[in-house]
Structure 1
Amino acid sequence: MRFIDDGAVESAPSSITAAEALQFSMDGKNRIALSLYPTPNESDIQELAEAWELHPVLVEDLLHARQRPKLERYGEVLLLVVRSALYVDEAEEVELSEFHILVRQGSIAILCQDHRWIDGTDGHEFAESISNGSLQKHQLLLKDPKLLKLGSEAVLYRVLDEIVDGYVPVLHGLGIDKEQIERQVFSGDAAVTERIYRLSQEVIDVLHSTASLLEVVRSLDDGFKKYPVPEELETYLQDVTDHLTRANSQATEYRDALSQILNVNSTLVAQRQNEDMKKISGWAAILFAPTLIAAIYGMNFDHMPELHWAFGYPGAVLVMLVFAAALYGVFKWRKWF
């Protein structure tokens, strides 16, 4: 819990309730009560719902989570569902974390529904840092006193800005893996197909997240034009929109590039299979000639040419070798081998 009074940030006792925090924001001008729930449970949500008099539908969303990114208004309370992203390079996976953000005049509540903070910090560790008053890098949300004087929407902007900034290293990691896959494709590694599919899925997840978040931010921007929001804050939000648009475009480029890489890989695999079939067919033809001759002379008929000829056996073997060598030369000349 953090209290912001005219841009100055103060730590609130861990025992303070949601109703007391709300009362603080209402008792003075330019006050903001920031409530962080790193590991929200049902009792936390019910306490917040009672203090803020939340709509039952909104409470249901908070309790069950797993909501698509969206922006909804319930009376004077604004709900944003957003997702941050964290790239795990060792597993080549993108971990998405869901956040429910409630905003009203003078108050903002952030619920970490996946029990992780934006940078991937475990929710329990984050909660402990809050209780100890040592937020360290998480204080970045509240680092600009001038900005905080613009109201609770300013804190919302800082949260969105940090989430959007988190997509940059994710896309950087995906880009490196894409380049590795390109080299792997042309090296003929058979395991690359599975890697392409897995990375494509991660890129699609990021693309969906950025696209959904972009809709939320644009809707928020439209809402700011309807409500009394400082013009300076609209400028900050536009900067977030620009960064998010760039991230969404880059994710789209990665998806298209991986699709092309998959097509190229399929073509190369088909070419290699064709070359293998040529070799198999060539060796089958080379072995067919000696097999045919041996089969004929293995019929044991009484009347066969050269059957009792002293040079029949070496002659037959010589014909087999000459026939096989001739076929091998033809296939070699046609670059089948």
Structure 2
Amino acid sequence: MKVLKKVVVTALAASLMVVPLMSNAEGDIEGNVKEVIEFEEPEQLKQEFIGFYGTIKEIQEEEGRLSIVVENDQEEPGNIAIFYVLEETFLVSNKTMDIVDRSYLEEGMKVMAYYPSDIILPMIYPPRIPADVVAVMENEEYTNVEVYRFDENLLSTDGILQIFPDEETVIVDREGNLLKKEDIRNSKAVVFYGIAELSLPAKAVPQKVIVLKEQLKDTGRAVIEGVETVLNKPMYMKDNTIMVPLRQIAEALGYEVKWNGENYSVEIMKGAHWFLVKIGEDDYNFAKMKTQLGIAPELVDSTTYVPVEFLELMGLNVDIAYDGVLNINNN
């Protein structure tokens, strides 16, 4: 089996990083790879997760924090990076397609370290980066391991890969619990696949998908339209759903918020956009329609809380960053 190499622009420098991507010459998902082709991604594509491929040259541990020095054969400054392997860093092997722990890492191993493209890195060399996912690439003949966020159609949000799980695809969460294809939608996932159709987006039937639901770690602040905001009232969890204070977030996004004390309802308005929620009722009104989100709005300490899914209903982009902070942006 030969390897098709996809050239990916990294955020570290103008240098190019090589990522394995396997395909046959005809572009079929099935079949043997027959030749090596190289292509450069169009400049308009922006990866959501950047991968750095190289060899672990050194493993360091200082004050309980583990880091790995990874080098490759690219030209400076894109040839070396130091990755912090944190408690939340997800580690896998492309050989077993299983989760591994930090003790599995050894000097001399080939790894692909992924990190979000929007994190702010200190202007030092070599760069020091908190790794989101580290894949141990034990043999290039084994499966590719890549990290994406997928939409409703299982197309990565950066438009690079679309996956088509079949009955043989194993889909699990971090703990190994079996999931369904629907659980991949609108989620970040680690994808293991062998052969991909040479197209844009590339198309692949994955062997395994591990869905990574980010965990909220900081309930007292959020990043709203790129501005870090200290919340007057903290978020909380209910039935595995994040409950957020509605007024402060909506007003920060330019909405007018009106409280009706007679029927315990809240109107949210901006231009032609209008929403109505009622405390204790799982009926969310928007554009003269109603929908249910599974959890009703709550009044806690004189503050209206709604499930975070309501923000998505408002057309907002909501995700949890690598550091566990909620990010909220207009589309």
Q: Please give the TM-score of this superposition, normalised by the length of structure 1.
A: 0.21
Q: Please give the TM-score of this superposition, normalised by the length of structure 2.
A: 0.21
Q: Which has the higher strand share?
A: 2
Larger radius of gyration: 1
Q: Which has the higher helix share?
A: 1
